[in-house]
Copies of this chain bind each other. A is one copy, B any other.
Amino acid sequence: MKRSLPLFALLLCSFFAQAQADKVRQLVQQRQQQLLQEYLQFVAIPNVMGDSINIHRNAAFIQQMMERRGIATQILTLPIKGASPLVVGQVKVPGATTTMGFYAHYDGQPVNPAQWAKGLSPFTPQLTTDRLDRGGSFVPGNAVPAVIPEKMRLYGRGSADDKAGVFAIIAAYELMKQSGQQPKANLTFIFEGEEEVGSIHLDDYFTQHKALLKADLWMICDGARHVTGRKQLVFGVRGDINAELKVYASARPLHSGNYGNWAPNAAMRLAQLLASMKDDKGMVTIPGFYDDVQPLSKAEKEAIAQIPDVVPTLQTELMMIHPDGDGRNFQELLNIPTLNINGFAAMNVGSMASNIIPAEATAALDLRLVKGNTVEGQFNKVKRYIESKGYTVLDHEPTAEERKKYPLIAKLTMNDGAYPAQKTPMDLPIAQQVIAAIQSTTTDAVIKIPTVGGSLPLYMFETILQSLPVSIGIVNYDNNQHAENENLQISFLLEGIVTMAAVMGVH
């Protein structure tokens, strides 16, 4: 569906797309019992990084699921100890000039079984009649009914994050074909096993398999539908820098009586430095901090205006009267960079406090980056700002010589693993096609989010594969991802299959 089509053609396409989605949904309903039975086997395989045997069992299971559906597969590995395999599936369409990529991950967050609700075990998937804390009860013998009730849930690690994504993609391919539709673009599927530890080898896989993994668009199938239940597409993520700022005063902590008023206080110095970085509206005062931000496009501004407003709900829940952000829209604020104090420390508070003038004080900072910011650039703005306050900024503990030489000393270091933001323009023709495809599966308006506040290293798709990613979440928002009692509302998985099948029609 190209943007230049006349209105009539658009409406016609839309009509056929809706009819197609309905067909897939019907098939999903017919096959629901069998699909869930297969999914239960998948969730039963432990999937925490470090448990190498089970990580490989997951990869083999995924490979078999694809093979059963006629998808060509390969399992890529790296000669790095502990690196999880990347499972790849490919569907080549004769004559196709476009390739659509589909990504999900099969690894899960570490578990502490003791924290899970009574009767639950992270890797013994358990069906329940509803959310357990809303009166749900265990389904005896995990017997899958022929018709799965709307509220039925499946508890288990990975049930929502993100085996649901893996399964929805693979099942969608099968059901799309069964519905009579053939893919028009080549399809590439990749399933990663290290997302929860920061996708630490994804760049290696991308670099070594550039040609294999190049696509016109990568659909990242991870995360949840909007809290309202509406389907949502995410076009960007913020980048992230973790940094540590430490300031120094005397060579050692001093008695606050004997030296108070005379000896400088490292905690006060740090407080003054940090305090001056934001104004009383919570906006960053560091010169140029917002300067290189890529402005929102017209399409992005329109999309933002249509995102349901969660602020009143949040303010009530968080018991917060005045948000930061100088009165700007919540979503707008997620589209500019941040400077945040994660924590600070100097000597002790509470019962361990003593009458001391701290000699050192430390703050942990994180800087979220948006499109336009670079890691080095953003870090250097902070560094130059501290220098402008008279500080000599070191990247190491000051030596005695340095202490004797510089009146004001700070140490600013960047942690490993910083990366830039990624954003896919939502007005790209192929992005517009994806939006229309999703919209064809639902009568509610699809929510389009230019950038979420959080960070993922999606920039790799762009910088290594020269491909653009778009993210879609299919599971229930209340899935307890990363925590105990992770669960999936099964009707969301089934509808997710319909959603992914629709995207597979894009070309």
Q: Mark A residues whose CB is within 8 Å of B.
A: 238, 240, 242, 244, 249-252, 254-265, 267-268, 270-272, 274-276, 278, 280, 282, 317-325, 330, 333-334, 336, 338, 340-350, 353-358, 361-364, 366, 368, 400, 403-404, 406-408, 452-455
Beta-carbon contact of B343 and A347 below 8 Å: yes
Contacts of A344 in B (CB 8 A): 267, 271, 344-346, 349, 361
Whether the Cβ atoms of B271 and A324 lie closer than 8 Å is: no
Bound: A347/B455 CA distance, A: 21
Bound-state Cα–Cα, A400 to B317, Å: 10
CB-based contact B341/A268 at 8 Å: yes
Residue numbers in B under 8 Å from A252 (CB-CB): 318
**Assuming A251-B320, A260-B366, A342-B347, what are 16 further A-B pairs, CB within 8 angstroms?**
A242-B353, A244-B350, A256-B338, A256-B340, A256-B366, A258-B454, A261-B282, A261-B325, A264-B324, A265-B324, A340-B355, A341-B358, A342-B357, A344-B344, A344-B361, A347-B364
With a cutoff of 8 Å between Cβ atoms, the chain B residues found around residue A452 in the complex are: 257-258
Whether B257 lies near A341 (C-beta < 8 A) is: no
Contacts of A318 in B (CB 8 A): 250-252, 254, 263
Q: How far is the CA of A238 from the CA of B256 in the complex (A)?
A: 11
- 26 A/B residue pairs, CB under 8 Å, sorted by A: A251-B320, A255-B453, A257-B455, A260-B338, A260-B453, A261-B324, A261-B334, A261-B338, A263-B318, A263-B323, A264-B282, A264-B323, A267-B344, A268-B275, A268-B278, A270-B271, A271-B272, A319-B403, A340-B355, A342-B349, A342-B356, A343-B356, A344-B344, A344-B346, A344-B361, A350-B362
Residue of B nearest to A318 (CB): B250
- Nearest-CB residue, chain B, relative to A361: B344
Query: B264 near A342 (CB under 8 angstroms)?
Result: no
Which B residues are CB-close (under 8 A) to A264?
A: 282, 320, 322-324
Residues of B within 8 A of A251 (CB): 317-320
**Alpha-carbon separation in the docked complex, A344 to B353 (Å):** 9
Chain B residue, CB-CB nearest to A249 = B320
Q: In the assembled complex, how far is the CB of residue A416 from the closest CB belonging to chain B, in whole angstroms? A: 12
Contacts of A322 in B (CB 8 A): 264, 407-408
**Out of B270, B342, B362, which one reaches A355, CB within 8 Å?**
B342
**In the assembled complex, which residues on chain B have CB atoms less than 8 Å from the CB atom of A341?**
265, 267-268, 271, 346, 358
Are A263 and B320 in contact (CB-based, < 8 A)?
yes
Residue of A250, A276, A280, A324 with most chain B CB atoms under a 10 A cut-off: A324
Can you name the residue of chain B whose Cβ is closest to the Cβ of A277? B268
Q: Are A258 and B362 in contact (CB under 8 A)?
A: no
5 shortest A-B CB distances, which residue pairs?
A343-B347, A275-B275, A257-B454, A353-B364, A260-B338
- The CA of A333 and the CA of B334, in the complex, are separated in Å by 48
Residues of B within 8 A of A346 (CB): 341, 343-345
- What is the distance, in angstroms, from A76's C-beta to the closest C-beta of chain B? 30
- A270 surroundings in chain B (CB, below 8 A): 271
Indicate whether A321 sits within 8 Å of B406 (C-beta atoms), given known contacts A256-B342, A342-B358: yes
- Cα–Cα distance between A455 and B258 once the two chains are bound (Å): 9
Contact of A274 among B271, B453, B455 (CB under 8 A): B271
Which chain B residues border A259 with CB–CB below 8 Å?
453
Asked whether, in the complex, the Cβ of B454 is within 8 Å of the Cβ of A340, the reply is no
Q: How far is the CA of A319 from the CA of B409 in the complex (A)?
A: 12
Give bound CA distance, A14 to B114, whole Å.
Answer: 83
CB neighbours of A406 from chain B (8 A): 321
Please measure, in the bound complex, the distance between the C-alpha atom of A408 and the C-alpha atom of B347, giving whole angstroms: 26
For the complex formed, measure the closest distance between the CB of A83 and the CB atoms of chain B, giving whole angstroms. Answer: 23
Contact yes or no, B338 A342, CB < 8 A: no
- Tell me the bound Cα distance from A184 to B413 in angstroms: 70
A330 to B343, CA, bound (A): 34
A255–B321 touching, CB < 8 Å: no
Cross-chain contact B320 with A250 (CB below 8 angstroms): yes
Most chain-B CB neighbours within 10 Å: which of A268, A274, A333, A357? A268
How many Å lie between the Cα of A355 and that of B354 in the bound state?
Answer: 29
- In the assembled complex, the CB of A363 is this many whole angstroms from the nearest CB of chain B, namely 7
Minimum C-beta distance from A370 to chain B (A): 10
